[in-house]
Structure 1
Amino acid sequence: MGVVTAYAAVVLSGGAARRMGGVDKPARAVGGRPMLHRVLAAVADASPRIVVGPAGALPGGVRVTREVPSGGGPVAATAAGLALLGPGTPTVALLAGDLPLLTPTAVAALRHALDGSPAADGACYVDDDGRRQQLCGVWRVDALRTALTRLAAERGGTVGGAPVRGLLAGTAVREVSWSGSGPPPWFDCDTDEDVRRAEEWTR
């Protein structure tokens, strides 16, 4: 089964980056490019590409929006990103903005996995310990919108401050292990040491 041709990408660039002293984490460079730009390059074939949160200068054609309330967390940011998608967009790559090792090949593997699993609502990578990397995945847009509606109802009409695991708790997930060459695409940079490790991998 071939990969569906249309998909969007929503990249979450917010977050306080407390373990890095509150810096704009996705703007930090790895291998000479901001992490956010590296993520956007991995989904260069997506349309539209949407960044939710602080963005700075971005490649042409990338749309920018903000979550409500500002600083409301990844679920609120997901809702803001999905709000910009048209009704004809079947799937969306939902990605953290601090995945400097993500590649087009890794995204294509997720899309293949979801396309080959009709009963699944999404496909995401799992790390070596079996933990789902939920912000390194591809999801069916309708399933995410249904999950957002459910979660908002459970939380009195708002998803601000909600955890991603709460959003995805009722979804059917195809777990994907990274079997390709190179470093794990789900590796995120939460600390200065993580950035140093990512730099070594990109050399």
Structure 2
Amino acid sequence: MPGKTCNVVVLLSGTGSNLQALLDSCKPDGPVRICAVISNRADAYGLERAKAAGIATAVLEHQGFTGREAFDTALMALIDGFTPDLVVLAGFMRILSGGFVRHYQGRLLNIHPSLLPKYKGLHTHQRALEAGDGEHGCSVHFVTEELDGGPLVVQAVVAVAAVDTVQSLAARVHHQEHQIYPLAVRWFAEGRLRLGEHGALLDGQPLAASGHLIRP
């Protein structure tokens, strides 16, 4: 998308630390413009971060809907009202329907706190410690209908220390999340990153199965 501002809608359910990292990385004349932040929880602190930055916010609580598809249909209408080029999941604690994922195919990114394909789902830091892993980390990937299973874009590796707790390991992983998510979003906004027929492409070249690997 060279020469064009990339409109980004961020979906979140919690504190919004990754949203803050994205906001901090946005330059006034840069390619990324966060145009809206949407949450399924009215008490999500990420909404306050957005308001402080002068960004439009919206709340769509899922309790009022008969099922996932009905909620996702309403959510798609809300998102599309902001005409996004990219939708970013930043701690959005909802499993999305196939129809939603297909609607945004190739323009829907997620960040996950593990070195995918390891530890899909929840409690990733605890699981890495219990397994005795020497390395842990985080992954940015395109979203597909497979939970935490879409093509990888970039991963950051964190060494696991013998003295690590869930909290200490999580803190170091979060720090890396705040580095790699803005990077991936910028690549997309600059037209460098896209989803090809067989996986993620960076500068027209297929990325490795593990994505672009960063070892801080």
* Same-fold status (TM-score > 0.5): no
Relative to its length, the structure with more strand (as a share) is 2
Q: Which has the larger radius of gyration?
A: 2
Q: TM-score, normalised by structure 2?
A: 0.37
Q: TM-score, normalised by structure 1?
A: 0.39
Q: Greater RCO between the two (CA within 8 Å, min separation 6)?
A: 1
